[in-house]
Amino acid sequence: MANTGKEYEELVRDIQRSLINAENIPSLKNINIEKNKKIKDRSGIDREFDIYWEFEIGGHTYRSVIECKDYSSPVSIEKIDAFIGKTNDIPGLKLIYATRTGYQSGAKIKAEQHNIQLLVIRDQQAQDWVDDDGTPLLKSIHFKMTAILPPRIINFNVHVDKEWFYSQNEYTENTLPYLFKTELSDAIFIRNISKGEKYSIHDLSRLLMKKVDNMVYGE
């Protein structure tokens, strides 16, 4: 089956749309992407472009056209000349050229002189992962890690002495459970009567870290 280039045009269009969506720029408005768009030049002649897209930002409308060519060899300067001639009578366009196979040196020079952006859009190939001198490039990194988290207090339950509870009138069965839940960790204290020591919940969490020998935590 002959290569009509339609599949490549759709590929470029889909990539362009994905890139715009990935940018997620809130100030971009009225984004419009069309395929086989016809634009009249100054002479009133319809000029058809493979991909056309426009958007508004800051009250200004920006328009771009993309020429998509699925050639089997690098794009020549004649193809760039044809693109320039096609757009000469249509002001205000950003010109973009897309191909799979790259560009000849003359085409690159001519495109640079006319502010044409050159793209190479194709599937990933093995040579993409080799440097110019033949050195293989790093393609992926695999890590095997065991995360060691510092100890922390995740729950705090209080068991109240039954005789003390019935001997006082300040707290009830409904209010007592919520007493400790509403206080900050540095406002609740635990007293070790036998050792004469007193810690807040906040202090206790810090002491837990010191109790584990040879444990190193990240900053």
Summarised one tens digit per residue, pLDDT across range 8-34 is 888 888 887 777 777 766 767 778 889
Model pLDDT, residue 5: 74
Residue 219 has a pLDDT of: 47
Q: Averaged over 182-193, what is the pLDDT?
A: 72
Per the CB < 8 A criterion, the answer to whether 156 and 180 are in contact is: yes
| Stated pTM of the model | 0.57
Confidence class for position 56, pLDDT limits 50, 70, 90 = confident
Give yes or no for residue 197 having a pLDDT over 90: no
CB neighbour burial string for 195-212, b if at least 16 within 10 angstroms, e if fewer: eeeeebbeeebeeeeeee
The architecture CATH gives domain 6-123: 3-Layer(aba) Sandwich (3.40)
User: Using an 8 Å Cβ cutoff, are 12 and 66 in contact?
Assistant: yes
Q: What is the pLDDT of residue 6?
A: 83
Tell me how long the chain is: 219
Report whether 120 contacts 96 (CB < 8 A). no
Q: How far apart are CA 98 and CA 67, in angstroms?
A: 6
> By the 8 A CB rule, do 197 and 190 touch?
no
Domain map of the chain by residue range? 6-123, 162-211
- Sheet of 93-99: strand order equals 29-40, 46-57, 60-69, 93-99, 117-120
pLDDT, one tens digit per residue, over 121-162 is 888 778 888 888 889 888 889 988 887 777 777 777 777 788
Of 104, 111, 69, 107, nearest to 87 (Cα)?
Answer: 111
159 vs 63, residue with greater confidence: 63
Type and span of the H or E element at 77: helix 77-87
